[in-house]
Amino acid sequence: MFKNITGAIKENIRDYGMYIALALIMFIFTTLTDGLFMNPRVISDLIDMTGYIAVLSVGVTLVIIIRHIDLSVGYVSGFLGAVAAILSSRFNMPLPLIIVLVLLLGATVGLLWTGILVAHVKIPAFVATLAAMTIFRGFLIQITKSETIFTNNDAFNAIGNGYIPDIFQGQGLHLTSLLLGMVAIALYFVLEVKNRRKQQEFGLFVSALPAFLAKLAFVAVVVMYFVWKLASFKGFSYTAVIVGVVVVVYNFVTKNTTLGRHIYAVGGNPEAAELSGISVKFITLVVFGSMGMLAGLSGLLFTARLQSATPTAGMGFELDAIAGAFVGGTSASGGVGKVTGSIIGALVMASLSKGMDLMNVGVSYQYIIRGLVLAAAVVFDVKTRNMRAKSA
């Protein structure tokens, strides 16, 4: 019995490792800052500052799954953010139109530049996106004319700073957010129970009932705790909602659609995928197209958050996004990775920054520590994979 439990922990440690890491980091910072880290305002801010990196992490996760890389997402994001700022402040374009245009432009960049160079011309993604990185850095400086462009449109700025309205007018507590949180948990319960029942029906391995219930209760408590924190501040921010939608959509596509399966198949073994009738070229185009679109979204979020577009916006985003994906369990050798994992990974990296900021740790140390954590995450990935290979 004991063996079974340790065995199960070993089996699943890859999947849960980053959740444990996140909990540990939060616990350490909460202790070191005398509870300041768990302040509702800090939590809310943490989520908003993760947002524009998190959506990039989601996109780059798919890129890494199909064994490529994208170094250009930072400056592409910065450039598209500047485009959005210009459309808003100079052309007074309505917000929905700006969003659609910027997302389309992003997808086009991903498809026409990286997608075609990598899928058709067969240039290594590293080089193609390194070139794009430099090109878009140039474009960014060009269209901002090396000056900061302020966005004065309140609706636009709300994407990065605003909170969803409370239709119930709660006193000191954001009831709409609280309700949304409870609905999400209820949905999660329904899906988990349904899934478990299906697995039982086919005689597949399921965890024991107490363990299953404990897991549900644990998730519910943790989620409600954070929802409560947010609700007692200003509720869900628009950024949180947008990131939530991106995660839900991408998680569904990767897990439940033929497209998602094709992406994992191409990453797992491109030769086998091609011989199974899957077009590796098409999948490569789709993944880089989606990456471009998410870079557009990231640009919108970042510009709205700063209420301005600067000529250096997007610098280093790609590294944070890639780090988030790796910390979140995406395998450097392709074929393995989860959207949810990468979000957690991005949150881990952001928590480190936030926590160290609160403790007034110098920037130089912050970089060093984050680098070490990234290295540790990949070492962990490689080691647990070897462990599995051995047990097989």
Residues at the site binding other proteins, with contacts judged by CB under 8 A: 198, 202, 204-205, 256-259, 261-262, 264-265, 268-269, 271-279, 335-336, 389, 392
Alpha-carbon 180 to chain mean position = 21
User: Per the structure block, which two tokens stand in for 58?
Assistant: 């989601």
Tokens 């947008």 appear where? 242
Q: Is 301 exposed, middle or buried (0-12, 13-18, 19+ CB in 10 A)?
A: buried
Supply the minimum distance, in Å, between the C-beta of residue 269 and other proteins.
Answer: 5
Of the two residues 52 and 326, which places its CB atom closer to other proteins in the complex? 326
| Min dist. Cβ of residue 249 to other proteins (A) | 13
User: Measured from the CB atom, is 159 or 336 closer to other proteins?
Assistant: 336
Residue 55's SS3 state is: helix
Nearer to other proteins, 235 or 335 (CB): 335
Query: Which residue has tokens 């881990």?
Result: 348
Q: Who's near 136: CB < 8 A, 6+ residues apart?
A: 72, 75, 76, 78, 79, 109
CA dihedral 289, 80, 352, 129 (to 10 degrees): 50
Largest CA distance in the chain: 68
3-state secondary structure of 92: coil
Nearest distance, CB of residue 188 and other proteins, angstroms? 17
Residue of 159, 127, 139 whose CA lies nearest to 76: 139
Closer of 208 and 392 to other proteins (Cβ): 392
What minimum distance in Å lies between the beta carbon of 385 and other proteins?
A: 9
Q: Which is nearer to other proteins, 42 or 266 (CB)?
A: 266
